[in-house]
Amino acid sequence: MDLIYANDPLEGLYDQVLVRYGEIGLKGKNRHVFEDRLVRNMQKALAGLPPRKINRTFGRMFVPLDGDAREVLPRLQRVFGIVSLSPVVTVGRDLDEIKEWALKLAHGHGGSFRVDVRRADKSFPQSSIEMDRLLGAHLLKEYPHLHVDLEHPELTVSVEIRPEGTYMYSRTWPGPGGLPLGSSGRGILLLSGGIDSPVAGWMMMKRGLELMPLHFHSPPFTSERSKEKVLDLCRVLASYAGSISLHLCHFTEVQKAIHRECPADLGVIIMRRMMMRIAAQTAFAKGALALVTGESLGQVASQTIESISVISQASPLPILRPLVGMDKDKIVDQARLIGTYETSILPFDDCCTLFVPRHPQTRPQLSQVEKAEEPLAIAELVQEAVDKTEVIEIGG
Ligand code: ATP
Ligand code: MG
Protein backbone atom coordinates (compact mmCIF):
# COMPACT_ATOMS: atom_id res chain seq x y z
CA MET A 1 0.00 0.00 0.00
CA ASP A 2 1.48 3.35 -1.04
CA LEU A 3 1.55 5.93 1.68
CA ILE A 4 0.62 9.21 0.08
CA TYR A 5 -2.07 9.54 -2.53
CA ALA A 6 -0.59 10.10 -6.00
CA ASN A 7 -0.64 9.00 -9.61
CA ASP A 8 -3.99 7.40 -10.02
CA PRO A 9 -5.01 7.61 -13.69
CA LEU A 10 -8.62 6.97 -12.74
CA GLU A 11 -8.90 9.88 -10.37
CA GLY A 12 -11.25 11.91 -12.55
CA LEU A 13 -13.74 9.04 -12.62
CA TYR A 14 -14.31 8.49 -8.93
CA ASP A 15 -17.50 9.88 -7.49
CA GLN A 16 -17.02 9.10 -3.77
CA VAL A 17 -14.42 8.17 -1.19
CA LEU A 18 -15.15 5.24 1.06
CA VAL A 19 -13.79 6.04 4.52
CA ARG A 20 -13.03 3.24 6.99
CA TYR A 21 -12.54 4.01 10.62
CA GLY A 22 -11.47 1.50 13.21
CA GLU A 23 -11.65 1.71 16.91
CA ILE A 24 -14.32 4.33 17.16
CA GLY A 25 -16.76 1.75 15.86
CA LEU A 26 -16.21 -0.16 19.11
CA LYS A 27 -17.21 2.55 21.54
CA GLY A 28 -20.76 1.43 22.29
CA LYS A 29 -22.96 4.27 23.39
CA ASN A 30 -20.28 6.87 22.71
CA ARG A 31 -20.08 5.82 19.12
CA HIS A 32 -22.22 8.68 17.87
CA VAL A 33 -20.18 11.26 19.70
CA PHE A 34 -17.01 9.91 18.13
CA GLU A 35 -18.55 9.70 14.68
CA ASP A 36 -19.87 13.24 14.93
CA ARG A 37 -16.42 14.43 15.82
CA LEU A 38 -14.83 12.50 13.00
CA VAL A 39 -17.26 14.06 10.53
CA ARG A 40 -16.54 17.53 11.91
CA ASN A 41 -12.80 16.95 11.67
CA MET A 42 -13.15 15.69 8.10
CA GLN A 43 -15.18 18.75 7.17
CA LYS A 44 -12.51 20.94 8.74
CA ALA A 45 -9.82 19.16 6.72
CA LEU A 46 -11.84 19.83 3.54
CA ALA A 47 -12.43 23.52 4.31
CA GLY A 48 -11.85 25.72 1.29
CA LEU A 49 -13.05 23.06 -1.18
CA PRO A 50 -16.64 23.04 -2.45
CA PRO A 51 -18.87 22.01 0.47
CA ARG A 52 -20.23 18.46 0.52
CA LYS A 53 -22.32 16.27 2.78
CA ILE A 54 -20.56 13.31 4.33
CA ASN A 55 -22.81 10.24 4.39
CA ARG A 56 -22.69 7.54 7.07
CA THR A 57 -23.68 3.96 6.46
CA PHE A 58 -22.92 0.64 8.08
CA GLY A 59 -19.96 1.75 10.15
CA ARG A 60 -18.30 3.56 7.27
CA MET A 61 -18.58 6.95 5.65
CA PHE A 62 -18.77 8.22 2.11
CA VAL A 63 -17.40 11.56 0.98
CA PRO A 64 -18.74 12.73 -2.39
CA LEU A 65 -16.19 13.81 -5.00
CA ASP A 66 -16.52 16.34 -7.74
CA GLY A 67 -13.58 15.30 -9.87
CA ASP A 68 -11.36 16.42 -6.99
CA ALA A 69 -9.94 13.16 -5.63
CA ARG A 70 -6.47 14.66 -5.84
CA GLU A 71 -7.44 17.43 -3.43
CA VAL A 72 -9.63 15.42 -1.11
CA LEU A 73 -7.66 12.22 -0.53
CA PRO A 74 -4.40 13.73 0.77
CA ARG A 75 -6.38 15.89 3.18
CA LEU A 76 -8.39 12.97 4.51
CA GLN A 77 -5.17 10.99 4.91
CA ARG A 78 -4.30 13.39 7.72
CA VAL A 79 -7.50 13.01 9.68
CA PHE A 80 -6.98 11.00 12.86
CA GLY A 81 -9.45 8.17 13.29
CA ILE A 82 -9.44 7.24 9.60
CA VAL A 83 -7.93 3.81 9.03
CA SER A 84 -8.07 3.70 5.24
CA LEU A 85 -9.63 5.31 2.20
CA SER A 86 -10.72 3.96 -1.16
CA PRO A 87 -11.87 6.19 -3.97
CA VAL A 88 -14.84 4.43 -5.54
CA VAL A 89 -17.02 4.51 -8.61
CA THR A 90 -20.69 4.02 -7.90
CA VAL A 91 -22.46 2.06 -10.59
CA GLY A 92 -25.84 0.34 -10.93
CA ARG A 93 -26.82 -3.32 -10.79
CA ASP A 94 -26.30 -4.05 -14.45
CA LEU A 95 -23.87 -6.92 -14.91
CA ASP A 96 -22.37 -5.57 -18.12
CA GLU A 97 -21.76 -2.22 -16.51
CA ILE A 98 -20.03 -3.92 -13.55
CA LYS A 99 -17.89 -5.98 -15.93
CA GLU A 100 -16.90 -2.91 -17.89
CA TRP A 101 -15.85 -1.06 -14.74
CA ALA A 102 -13.86 -4.05 -13.52
CA LEU A 103 -11.83 -3.74 -16.73
CA LYS A 104 -11.31 -0.02 -16.18
CA LEU A 105 -10.17 -0.56 -12.60
CA ALA A 106 -7.59 -3.13 -13.71
CA HIS A 107 -6.49 -1.20 -16.77
CA GLY A 108 -2.74 -0.79 -17.13
CA HIS A 109 -2.03 -3.34 -14.43
CA GLY A 110 0.48 -6.06 -15.25
CA GLY A 111 0.79 -8.62 -12.45
CA SER A 112 -1.38 -10.69 -10.16
CA PHE A 113 -4.92 -9.87 -9.15
CA ARG A 114 -8.02 -11.10 -7.45
CA VAL A 115 -11.64 -10.06 -7.43
CA ASP A 116 -13.40 -9.54 -4.11
CA VAL A 117 -17.15 -9.26 -4.38
CA ARG A 118 -19.42 -8.64 -1.42
CA ARG A 119 -23.10 -8.92 -2.05
CA ALA A 120 -25.04 -7.16 0.70
CA ASP A 121 -28.10 -7.00 -1.55
CA LYS A 122 -29.41 -10.55 -1.54
CA SER A 123 -31.85 -9.77 -4.32
CA PHE A 124 -28.92 -9.52 -6.71
CA PRO A 125 -29.14 -12.65 -8.91
CA GLN A 126 -25.53 -13.90 -8.62
CA SER A 127 -23.88 -14.88 -5.33
CA SER A 128 -20.59 -13.30 -4.24
CA ILE A 129 -18.64 -16.38 -5.24
CA GLU A 130 -20.32 -16.56 -8.62
CA MET A 131 -19.51 -12.89 -9.17
CA ASP A 132 -15.86 -13.41 -8.15
CA ARG A 133 -15.52 -16.13 -10.77
CA LEU A 134 -17.47 -14.30 -13.41
CA LEU A 135 -15.50 -11.07 -13.10
CA GLY A 136 -12.19 -12.90 -12.71
CA ALA A 137 -12.81 -14.81 -15.93
CA HIS A 138 -13.82 -11.62 -17.71
CA LEU A 139 -10.61 -9.87 -16.65
CA LEU A 140 -8.45 -12.82 -17.71
CA LYS A 141 -10.15 -12.97 -21.08
CA GLU A 142 -9.63 -9.26 -21.79
CA TYR A 143 -6.23 -8.99 -20.13
CA PRO A 144 -4.51 -12.34 -20.74
CA HIS A 145 -1.22 -11.07 -19.28
CA LEU A 146 -2.77 -10.99 -15.79
CA HIS A 147 -2.81 -13.94 -13.43
CA VAL A 148 -4.87 -14.74 -10.37
CA ASP A 149 -3.34 -14.82 -6.90
CA LEU A 150 -5.87 -15.16 -4.11
CA GLU A 151 -3.33 -14.93 -1.27
CA HIS A 152 -1.10 -11.99 -2.15
CA PRO A 153 -2.50 -10.21 -5.19
CA GLU A 154 -0.85 -7.00 -6.36
CA LEU A 155 -4.25 -5.67 -7.33
CA THR A 156 -7.65 -6.35 -5.77
CA VAL A 157 -10.73 -5.32 -7.67
CA SER A 158 -13.37 -4.88 -4.97
CA VAL A 159 -17.08 -4.79 -5.64
CA GLU A 160 -19.75 -4.15 -3.03
CA ILE A 161 -23.27 -4.71 -4.20
CA ARG A 162 -25.74 -2.84 -2.01
CA PRO A 163 -29.37 -1.93 -2.56
CA GLU A 164 -28.46 1.74 -3.04
CA GLY A 165 -25.70 1.06 -5.54
CA THR A 166 -22.65 -0.96 -6.43
CA TYR A 167 -19.35 0.40 -5.18
CA MET A 168 -16.23 -0.56 -7.06
CA TYR A 169 -12.61 0.23 -6.29
CA SER A 170 -9.11 -1.08 -6.71
CA ARG A 171 -6.98 1.25 -4.63
CA THR A 172 -6.79 1.75 -0.90
CA TRP A 173 -4.79 4.42 0.88
CA PRO A 174 -3.85 4.38 4.55
CA GLY A 175 -5.12 6.96 7.03
CA PRO A 176 -3.28 7.67 10.26
CA GLY A 177 -5.63 5.50 12.36
CA GLY A 178 -6.21 6.33 16.01
CA LEU A 179 -9.10 8.37 17.39
CA PRO A 180 -10.67 11.62 16.19
CA LEU A 181 -8.76 14.65 17.42
CA GLY A 182 -10.44 16.17 20.45
CA SER A 183 -12.17 12.98 21.54
CA SER A 184 -9.65 12.49 24.37
CA GLY A 185 -9.71 16.01 25.77
CA ARG A 186 -6.87 18.48 25.80
CA GLY A 187 -3.18 18.48 26.74
CA ILE A 188 -0.14 20.74 26.72
CA LEU A 189 2.75 19.61 24.51
CA LEU A 190 6.17 20.73 25.65
CA LEU A 191 7.56 21.42 22.21
CA SER A 192 11.26 21.99 21.66
CA GLY A 193 12.83 22.40 18.25
CA GLY A 194 14.23 18.86 18.38
CA ILE A 195 13.22 15.62 16.70
CA ASP A 196 11.38 13.99 19.57
CA SER A 197 8.72 16.32 20.91
CA PRO A 198 6.88 16.91 17.58
CA VAL A 199 6.64 13.13 17.17
CA ALA A 200 5.38 12.77 20.73
CA GLY A 201 2.75 15.42 20.02
CA TRP A 202 1.65 13.72 16.82
CA MET A 203 1.29 10.40 18.62
CA MET A 204 -0.91 11.86 21.31
CA MET A 205 -3.02 13.77 18.77
CA LYS A 206 -3.49 10.43 17.07
CA ARG A 207 -4.98 9.17 20.33
CA GLY A 208 -7.51 11.98 20.22
CA LEU A 209 -5.76 14.51 22.46
CA GLU A 210 -6.12 18.09 21.31
CA LEU A 211 -2.76 19.75 21.93
CA MET A 212 -1.58 23.20 22.76
CA PRO A 213 2.17 23.34 22.18
CA LEU A 214 4.19 25.28 24.73
CA HIS A 215 7.69 26.35 23.76
CA PHE A 216 10.23 27.87 26.12
CA HIS A 217 12.58 30.36 24.62
CA SER A 218 15.21 32.55 26.20
CA PRO A 219 15.91 35.65 24.18
CA PRO A 220 18.48 37.07 23.64
CA PHE A 221 20.28 33.76 24.25
CA THR A 222 18.02 31.96 21.79
CA SER A 223 17.55 33.45 18.34
CA GLU A 224 14.56 34.54 16.31
CA ARG A 225 15.40 31.71 13.93
CA SER A 226 14.90 29.04 16.55
CA LYS A 227 11.48 30.55 17.21
CA GLU A 228 10.71 30.39 13.46
CA LYS A 229 11.69 26.76 13.52
CA VAL A 230 9.16 26.00 16.22
CA LEU A 231 6.52 27.89 14.23
CA ASP A 232 7.34 25.68 11.24
CA LEU A 233 6.99 22.54 13.35
CA CYS A 234 3.60 23.80 14.53
CA ARG A 235 2.55 24.32 10.92
CA VAL A 236 3.26 20.65 10.22
CA LEU A 237 1.31 19.61 13.33
CA ALA A 238 -1.49 21.97 12.29
CA SER A 239 -1.73 20.21 8.93
CA TYR A 240 -3.10 17.28 10.94
CA ALA A 241 -4.95 19.27 13.57
CA GLY A 242 -6.69 21.98 11.57
CA SER A 243 -5.28 24.75 13.70
CA ILE A 244 -3.06 25.05 16.71
CA SER A 245 -2.40 27.63 19.43
CA LEU A 246 1.31 27.86 20.07
CA HIS A 247 2.21 29.19 23.51
CA LEU A 248 5.58 30.90 23.59
CA CYS A 249 6.96 31.25 27.08
CA HIS A 250 9.64 33.78 27.87
CA PHE A 251 11.99 31.65 29.98
CA THR A 252 15.06 33.88 30.28
CA GLU A 253 14.44 35.08 33.84
CA VAL A 254 13.84 31.55 35.09
CA GLN A 255 17.04 30.30 33.52
CA LYS A 256 19.05 33.18 34.87
CA ALA A 257 17.69 32.56 38.36
CA ILE A 258 18.57 28.87 38.17
CA HIS A 259 22.04 29.69 36.91
CA ARG A 260 22.55 32.21 39.69
CA GLU A 261 21.02 30.34 42.63
CA CYS A 262 21.39 26.60 42.02
CA PRO A 263 24.25 24.11 41.73
CA ALA A 264 25.34 23.67 38.11
CA ASP A 265 25.14 19.88 38.08
CA LEU A 266 21.41 20.01 38.92
CA GLY A 267 20.66 22.91 36.58
CA VAL A 268 19.05 20.85 33.83
CA ILE A 269 16.83 18.89 36.23
CA ILE A 270 15.69 22.06 37.97
CA MET A 271 15.05 23.75 34.65
CA ARG A 272 12.87 20.80 33.59
CA ARG A 273 10.96 20.96 36.86
CA MET A 274 10.34 24.66 36.29
CA MET A 275 9.08 23.84 32.79
CA MET A 276 6.65 21.31 34.25
CA ARG A 277 5.33 23.80 36.80
CA ILE A 278 4.79 26.45 34.15
CA ALA A 279 3.20 23.92 31.80
CA ALA A 280 0.87 22.67 34.54
CA GLN A 281 -0.24 26.18 35.41
CA THR A 282 -0.86 26.89 31.73
CA ALA A 283 -2.83 23.64 31.53
CA PHE A 284 -5.09 24.66 34.40
CA ALA A 285 -5.81 27.96 32.70
CA LYS A 286 -6.65 26.26 29.40
CA GLY A 287 -8.67 23.31 30.65
CA ALA A 288 -5.94 20.81 29.74
CA LEU A 289 -5.57 17.67 31.85
CA ALA A 290 -2.14 16.34 30.92
CA LEU A 291 1.35 17.34 29.79
CA VAL A 292 3.13 15.64 26.89
CA THR A 293 6.91 15.45 26.37
CA GLY A 294 9.27 13.79 23.92
CA GLU A 295 11.32 12.08 26.61
CA SER A 296 12.61 8.58 25.96
CA LEU A 297 14.08 6.48 28.74
CA GLY A 298 17.86 6.67 28.94
CA GLN A 299 18.31 8.90 25.90
CA VAL A 300 20.21 11.65 27.75
CA ALA A 301 21.24 12.46 31.34
CA SER A 302 17.92 14.16 32.07
CA GLN A 303 16.02 11.08 30.92
CA THR A 304 17.38 8.43 33.30
CA ILE A 305 14.65 6.88 35.42
CA GLU A 306 15.90 8.88 38.43
CA SER A 307 15.70 12.14 36.47
CA ILE A 308 12.30 11.30 35.04
CA SER A 309 11.05 10.53 38.52
CA VAL A 310 12.31 13.78 40.02
CA ILE A 311 11.02 15.80 37.04
CA SER A 312 7.60 14.15 37.26
CA GLN A 313 7.20 15.10 40.89
CA ALA A 314 7.19 18.78 39.99
CA SER A 315 3.95 18.35 38.05
CA PRO A 316 0.53 17.89 39.65
CA LEU A 317 -0.71 16.67 36.25
CA PRO A 318 0.16 13.39 34.54
CA ILE A 319 3.04 13.65 32.09
CA LEU A 320 2.45 11.55 29.00
CA ARG A 321 5.62 10.31 27.32
CA PRO A 322 4.59 8.38 24.25
CA LEU A 323 8.23 7.86 23.14
CA VAL A 324 9.41 6.48 26.46
CA GLY A 325 10.13 3.00 25.11
CA MET A 326 11.14 3.91 21.57
CA ASP A 327 14.66 3.77 20.12
CA LYS A 328 15.96 6.91 18.46
CA ASP A 329 16.04 5.39 14.96
CA LYS A 330 12.36 4.51 15.20
CA ILE A 331 11.55 8.03 16.38
CA VAL A 332 13.49 9.41 13.41
CA ASP A 333 11.54 7.12 11.02
CA GLN A 334 8.31 8.40 12.48
CA ALA A 335 9.47 12.04 12.22
CA ARG A 336 10.19 11.51 8.52
CA LEU A 337 6.82 9.92 7.99
CA ILE A 338 4.83 12.73 9.59
CA GLY A 339 6.95 15.44 7.96
CA THR A 340 8.69 17.10 10.91
CA TYR A 341 12.16 15.63 10.46
CA GLU A 342 13.55 18.07 7.88
CA THR A 343 12.63 21.01 10.09
CA SER A 344 13.78 19.38 13.31
CA ILE A 345 17.32 18.77 12.06
CA LEU A 346 17.95 22.40 11.11
CA PRO A 347 20.58 23.79 13.46
CA PHE A 348 19.13 25.85 16.28
CA ASP A 349 19.87 27.11 19.73
CA ASP A 350 17.55 25.63 22.32
CA CYS A 351 17.22 27.14 25.75
CA CYS A 352 18.22 23.69 27.05
CA THR A 353 21.66 24.01 25.57
CA LEU A 354 22.35 27.17 27.58
CA PHE A 355 24.27 26.86 30.78
CA VAL A 356 24.67 23.09 30.34
CA PRO A 357 27.14 21.81 32.92
CA ARG A 358 29.96 19.53 31.90
CA HIS A 359 28.85 16.82 34.32
CA PRO A 360 25.09 16.83 34.80
CA GLN A 361 23.72 14.60 37.53
CA THR A 362 22.25 11.41 36.13
CA ARG A 363 20.94 10.03 39.44
CA PRO A 364 19.40 13.00 41.23
CA GLN A 365 17.42 12.46 44.41
CA LEU A 366 14.27 14.39 45.15
CA SER A 367 15.39 15.64 48.58
CA GLN A 368 18.68 16.88 47.15
CA VAL A 369 16.92 18.68 44.28
CA GLU A 370 14.31 20.23 46.56
CA LYS A 371 17.07 21.58 48.75
CA ALA A 372 18.89 22.99 45.73
CA GLU A 373 15.68 24.73 44.64
CA GLU A 374 15.16 26.48 47.98
CA PRO A 375 16.76 29.79 46.99
CA LEU A 376 14.38 30.12 44.01
CA ALA A 377 11.20 32.19 44.28
CA ILE A 378 9.34 29.41 42.50
CA ALA A 379 5.76 30.70 42.65
CA GLU A 380 6.73 34.18 41.48
CA LEU A 381 8.95 32.92 38.68
CA VAL A 382 6.21 30.58 37.45
CA GLN A 383 3.55 33.28 37.59
CA GLU A 384 5.72 35.79 35.79
CA ALA A 385 6.55 33.29 33.03
CA VAL A 386 2.88 32.36 32.60
CA ASP A 387 1.88 36.02 32.45
CA LYS A 388 4.48 36.71 29.79
CA THR A 389 3.43 33.78 27.60
CA GLU A 390 2.46 34.84 24.11
CA VAL A 391 -0.14 32.89 22.10
CA ILE A 392 0.19 32.49 18.33
CA GLU A 393 -2.61 30.92 16.28
CA ILE A 394 -1.34 28.70 13.51
CA GLY A 395 -3.75 27.61 10.81
CA GLY A 396 -3.93 24.11 9.34
P1 ATP B 1 13.53 16.95 21.60
O2 ATP B 1 13.96 16.31 20.34
O3 ATP B 1 12.06 16.98 21.74
O4 ATP B 1 14.17 18.28 21.84
P5 ATP B 1 15.46 15.79 23.30
O6 ATP B 1 15.79 14.37 23.14
O7 ATP B 1 16.38 16.81 22.77
O8 ATP B 1 13.99 16.00 22.74
P9 ATP B 1 15.55 17.09 25.81
O10 ATP B 1 16.20 18.27 25.21
O11 ATP B 1 16.16 16.41 26.97
O12 ATP B 1 15.21 15.94 24.81
O13 ATP B 1 14.07 17.48 26.21
C14 ATP B 1 13.18 16.55 26.70
C15 ATP B 1 11.76 17.06 26.49
O16 ATP B 1 11.59 18.30 27.21
C17 ATP B 1 11.49 17.40 25.05
O18 ATP B 1 11.09 16.28 24.32
C19 ATP B 1 10.38 18.40 25.20
O20 ATP B 1 9.15 17.77 25.43
C21 ATP B 1 10.79 19.16 26.46
N22 ATP B 1 11.55 20.36 26.09
C23 ATP B 1 12.88 20.49 25.97
N24 ATP B 1 13.21 21.76 25.61
C25 ATP B 1 12.08 22.44 25.48
C26 ATP B 1 11.73 23.78 25.12
N27 ATP B 1 12.66 24.68 24.82
N28 ATP B 1 10.43 24.13 25.12
C29 ATP B 1 9.48 23.23 25.42
N30 ATP B 1 9.72 21.96 25.76
C31 ATP B 1 11.01 21.56 25.80
MG1 MG C 1 15.79 18.96 22.93
Closest ligand, as measured to the CA of 345 = 1
User: Based on C-alpha coordinates, what's the Rg of the chain?
Assistant: 26
197-236 per-position pLDDT tens digit: 999 999 999 999 999 999 999 999 888 899 999 999 999 9
Domains of the chain, each with CATH number or no CATH: 2-174 (3.30.2130.30), 186-395 (3.40.50.620)
Strand (E) positions, 149-266? 155-162, 165-169, 173-174, 186-190, 210-217, 243-250
The Cα–Cα gap between 111 and 88 comes to 22
Give the CA dihedral 269, 271, 275, 280, nearest 10 degrees: 60
The Cα–Cα gap between 76 and 234 comes to 19
Rounded to 5°, angle at Cα 322 from 275 and 386: 20
88-142 per-position pLDDT tens digit: 999 999 999 999 999 999 998 889 999 999 998 899 999 999 999 999 999 999 9
Per-residue pLDDT at 27 exceeds 70: no
Out of 28-42, 68-82, 275-289, pick the least confident: 28-42
Q: Which atom in ligand 1 lies closest to the alpha carbon of residue 214? A: 29
What percentage of the chain carries pLDDT values higher than 90? 83
Give the CA dihedral 198, 200, 206, 210, nearest 10 degrees: -70
pLDDT level of residue 1 (50, 70, 90 thresholds): very low
The Cα–Cα gap between 230 and 35 comes to 32
**Which secondary structure element, helix H or strand E, spans residue 201, and what is its range?**
helix 196-206
Pocket test of ligand 1: the residue of 196, 230, 247 to mutate, having most ligand atoms within 8 Å of its CB, is 196
The Cα–Cα gap between 291 and 180 comes to 19
What is the whole-number distance in angstroms between the Cα of residue 390 and the centre of ligand 2?
21
Helices and strands in the chain, H and E counts: 13, 15
Q: Which residues contact 378 (CB under 8 A, 6 or more apart)?
A: 274, 277
The Cα–Cα gap between 182 and 198 comes to 18
254-304 per-position pLDDT tens digit: 999 999 999 999 999 999 999 999 999 999 999 999 999 999 998 887 889
